[in-house]
Structure 1
Amino acid sequence: MRLSLTFSTAAAAIALLAGCSGGNTAQNETAANAAAPANASDEARSPDGKRYLAQPLVKDLYFADPSAHVFNGKIYIYPSHDVDMGIPDDDLGSQYAMHDYQVLSMDRPGGPVTVNPVALDLKQVPWASEKAWAPDAAFKNGTYYLYFPAKDKQGVFRIGVATSKSPVGPFKAEPQPIQGSYSMDPAVFTDDDGQSYLYLGGIWGGQLQRWATGKYDPNAGDTDLKKDDQPALSGKVARLAPDMKSLAEPLRDAVILDEKGKPVLGGDHDRRFFEAAWMFKRGGKYYYMYSTGDTHFLAYAIGSSPYGPFKYTGRILEPVQGWTSHGSVFEFQGKWYLAYHDTQLTNKNHLRSAKITELTFRPDGTIETLKPFRD
């Protein structure tokens, strides 16, 4: 693992930023950076004494599931906003009771972080009832699009879309969810030809297992299909229409293949898809990153098309502190970075912190696996 020491030190300074909500960070940044010791990252230790690979981007609020993009030379991160509602942990994610979105922005990795005002609240979404989980964003023809999951009035997860002329919002939601969408964790990838694709899906609390037949089945169970010897449930992908607000085609499987070219099986929890799809392109290859859920890896598979199939290739990130793992990959000024989250500040699964660290690619295009701790 090769990481920039200057990047890690700068990221540590970010962790000491305080009171940066509301989009006004100038005074707080000056005071925090002046007070931050050079070895701030060395002082933060996990409960078992390990040093963290990177430090939280924000210290006084909790942001998870960071979807990072570079728009007009600046980094924007679209996370979920964790709040404490006093709900006990369970397998369906009831403790994740997020209800709004705020965008993080910075001029460079390791630079000061601005927490912008609320970009969208579920109260402003006519069709939604609860659970503003992991979002993503895209830009086309002067408009920024925020894609987000939420449960509708019947308790079924759908994917919504909202628009703004600013990358930080405020965003105005469409009155209805995207027709044909379901489950959670939307991610949008725009290819070199300008065509955009929507990826989505998550089993267990994300309800993907209830759509295994193509129609919603409330009796399909709350976890997975428990068919370990059959192909695992796949995340979904579809091409977006030119308006970026609708699907140009039905959702299809984003299949992950093993080393023999066969679909990864449901019982292969180290490699099968669970949630948190993310797509990026490098060197003409399509990288499909995802979380394995109950085994806590950020894994990736490579294909020759945005539709797949994708051949399982390895892990990007080993298990972090906390139950969930969810990330994004982006390029900035010729370097590649992973945005992810953990529970460093709270050690509570529902109060997580977004982080950034650098990625290293080998000459063959594979990725050196990151460990979330430095010792």
Structure 2
Amino acid sequence: MRRRPIVRALAAGCAAVLAASLALASPASAANPIITTIYTADPAPLVVGNTMYIYAGRDEAPTGTNNFVMREWHVLSSTDAANWTHHGARANIGTFGWAGADAWASEVEYRNGRYYWYTSVNGRGPGWMDIGVAVADSPLGPFTDAKGGPLISDSTPNSSPLNIDPTVFVDDDGQAYLYWGGYWGARAVRLASNMIDTVGSVVTPQGLTNFWEAPFMFKRNGLYYMIYAANDTQGCVTSSSYACQRYATATNPMGPWTHRGVVLGQVSSTTNHAGVAQLNGQWYMIYHNANAPGGGNFRRSVAVDRMYFNADGTIQPVVQTTTGPPPNPGGGVQPPAGTNLAPSATASTSYVSAWESLAAINNGGVPTSSADRSNLAYGNWPQQGTQWIEYRWPSARSINRTATYWFDDNQGIDLPASCQVQYWTGSAYVNVPNQSTCGVAADTYNVTTFSTVSTTRLRLNITSRTGYSTGVLEWMAFQP
């Protein structure tokens, strides 16, 4: 995923700041657009613990004005992606003493206990738009200028024809990358560990077919994704005055990129700017349109809808809705009580997909739903029919029940048709005696009981539904 979820302990460390901020916060909508008390645009999400933050500019153009009037950036947050809290303006043009106007698209990235807010802003100097960076110790600020001048400007060698729309991605190895650009000019550069200096030369990334503006980068299952606005009429929009969101993938964060198609079609505003995040096991696309009362091309509003991946990693086109996603509060059910012997066992399987992890089944994770990958997931796509997972102990263990939390990615992995627990007799696997129904329900621990067996090996045979593979988030084995 693009944003590695920031640990709850860190989120708790911001509690005092958040509590003070909430006193000034106001509820927003539980439908699309998610806020209609003001106009908001160019959203970028960030997930911190169990909270999604959206950073967006404010459209202030009066009715009939055919130009952007944007002077500040606002923050919204939600723990379920449906009910949103508006925290007001958290940065503005005045945050940057060297800036003069145009608080355009921005994005916040976390690194080393701090939050870096990368912004498109008119810097008063030669040329037009620059990229600045502010910093804070909390996702809600207060934010201050981190550099005292532009990070990117027209004087930057090989800069974009229009230096706007920054997206910053920190990879698993700690290296940070900045992509940006407008007027068909995508650019990329590595960032130093301090997040406010560039390292090496600015490059022009290859493979972003029909790039216009608004890049947003994230990572999922070892694959890099870039969504971006395009305004071509070859399957994107009916008029080049509008834009869609295309996307590309790469195996290296600097490309080359392979174009994959359109992920978000034309919206009701001429501009189309989006970001992607995963919250409580579900992926979302955050974008803007002109659907709020009185809205228009310069009076836009942020919307949120669910996003789904296919089994091969491609993305299904996002369906734009007026209702928005249903509440997804996470939390889930708690695991059954008792002594779980699974963590002390060695796991094996008939097959595991290269991008999934067998370690998921006994790592002690507590899923929030069957789509929750936050504690890893075991899956056996593209295998079908009956596959198995197994535990082995160095000496015999007494066991009389198991609990299985199934993985369902809404793609090629689905809930199983059936399952059967078996144990090793010393020479063969046989079904456990007097087994209760082996449950296949989603979003819960399916408890299976049986007469006590003493064994060094326990196996779960999983039979898939026709056309699907199967997966497991957690498999527990209890002693009597």
Matching residue of 2:305: 357
Matched, 1:107 2:79: yes
Rounded Cα–Cα distance in structure 2 between residues aligned with 1:244 and 1:367: 30
Rounded Cα–Cα distance in structure 1 between residues aligned with 2:312 and 2:213: 27
Mean Cα deviation higher: 162-171 or 181-190: 181-190
Matching residue of 1:39: none
Contact 2:305 2:320 in 1 (8 A): no
Of 49, 58, 62, the residue aligned with 1:72 is 49
Contact 2:185 2:213 in 1 (8 A): no
Matching residue of 1:57: 34
Residue identity matched to 1:193: D
Rounded Cα–Cα distance in structure 2 between residues aligned with 1:73 and 1:248: 33
SS in 1 for 2:291: coil
Contact 1:330 1:337 in 2 (8 A): yes
Deviation at 1:124, TM superposition (A): 3.0
Residue identity matched to 2:174: G
Matching residue of 1:188: 168
Matched, 1:303 2:276: no
Deviation at 1:370, TM superposition (A): 2.2
Residue by residue, what CA displacement relative to the aligned partner does 1:220-274 show, whole Å, maximum 9, x if unpaired? xxxxxxxxxxxxx4411111101001111221112126xxxxxx4xxxxxxx000
Matching residue of 1:135: 106
Rounded Cα–Cα distance in structure 2 between residues aligned with 1:373 and 1:137: 26
Of 224, 229, 241, the residue aligned with 1:286 is 224
Greater helix share, 1 or 2? 1
Matching residue of 1:82: 59
Rounded Cα–Cα distance in structure 1 between residues aligned with 2:76 and 2:119: 16
Matching residue of 1:198: 178
Pick closer, same or farther for the CA change 1:199–1:343 going to 2, 3 Å: same
SS in 2 for 1:319: coil
Deviation at 1:123, TM superposition (A): 2.0
Residue by residue, what CA displacement relative to the aligned partner does 1:189-233 show, whole Å, maximum 9, x if unpaired? 111212111110011xxxxxxxxxxxxxxxxxxxxxxxxxxxxx4
Deviation at 1:373, TM superposition (A): 5.2
Deviation at 1:356, TM superposition (A): 0.9
RMSD of the alignment, in Å? Answer: 2.3
SS in 2 for 1:123: helix
Rounded Cα–Cα distance in structure 2 between residues aligned with 1:59 and 1:369: 26
Of 139, 162, 179, the residue aligned with 2:134 is 162
Rounded Cα–Cα distance in structure 2 between residues aligned with 1:288 and 1:126: 32
Rounded Cα–Cα distance in structure 1 between residues aligned with 2:281 and 2:185: 32
Residue identity matched to 1:372: Q
Of 320, 324, 327, the residue aligned with 2:274 is 327
Matching residue of 1:175: 148
Rounded Cα–Cα distance in structure 2 between residues aligned with 1:108 and 1:327: 19
Deviation at 1:117, TM superposition (A): 3.4
Contact 2:131 2:150 in 1 (8 A): yes
Residue by residue, what CA displacement relative to the aligned partner does 1:282-327 show, whole Å, maximum 9, x if unpaired? 1211111100143511000111111111111011111011111000
Rounded Cα–Cα distance in structure 1 between residues aligned with 2:260 and 2:139: 33
TM-score by length of 2: 0.56
Contact 2:216 2:227 in 1 (8 A): yes
SS in 1 for 2:94: helix
Matching residue of 2:401: none
Contact 1:234 1:255 in 2 (8 A): no
Matching residue of 1:211: none
Contact 2:40 2:59 in 1 (8 A): yes
Residue by residue, what CA displacement relative to the aligned partner does 1:145-197 show, whole Å, maximum 9, x if unpaired? 10001112135211000011110112101311115366100011111212111
Matching residue of 1:367: 315
Of 196, 204, 213, the residue aligned with 1:253 is 204
Deviation at 1:134, TM superposition (A): 0.5
Matching residue of 1:116: 87
Contact 1:24 1:114 in 2 (8 A): no
Larger radius of gyration: 2
Residue identity matched to 1:96: F
The alignment covers a number of residue pairs equal to 284
Deviation at 1:67, TM superposition (A): 0.3
Rounded Cα–Cα distance in structure 1 between residues aligned with 2:112 and 2:130: 25
Contact 1:100 1:118 in 2 (8 A): yes
Residue identity matched to 1:356: V
Deviation at 1:115, TM superposition (A): 1.5
Residue identity matched to 1:302: T
Question: What are the ranges of 5 or more consecutive residues in structure 1 without an aligned counterpart?
Answer: 1-21, 37-53, 90-94, 204-232, 258-263, 265-271
Residue identity matched to 1:142: G
Matched, 1:96 2:47: no
Rounded Cα–Cα distance in structure 2 between residues aligned with 1:25 and 1:242: 34
Rounded Cα–Cα distance in structure 1 between residues aligned with 2:320 and 2:271: 13
Deviation at 1:85, TM superposition (A): 4.5
Greater strand share, 1 or 2? 2
TM-score by length of 1: 0.71
Rounded Cα–Cα distance in structure 2 between residues aligned with 1:114 and 1:238: 34
Mean Cα deviation higher: 130-139 or 152-161: 152-161
Question: What are the ranges of 5 or more consecutive residues in structure 2 without an aligned counterpart?
Answer: 1-20, 232-239, 323-480
Rounded Cα–Cα distance in structure 2 between residues aligned with 1:253 and 1:87: 37
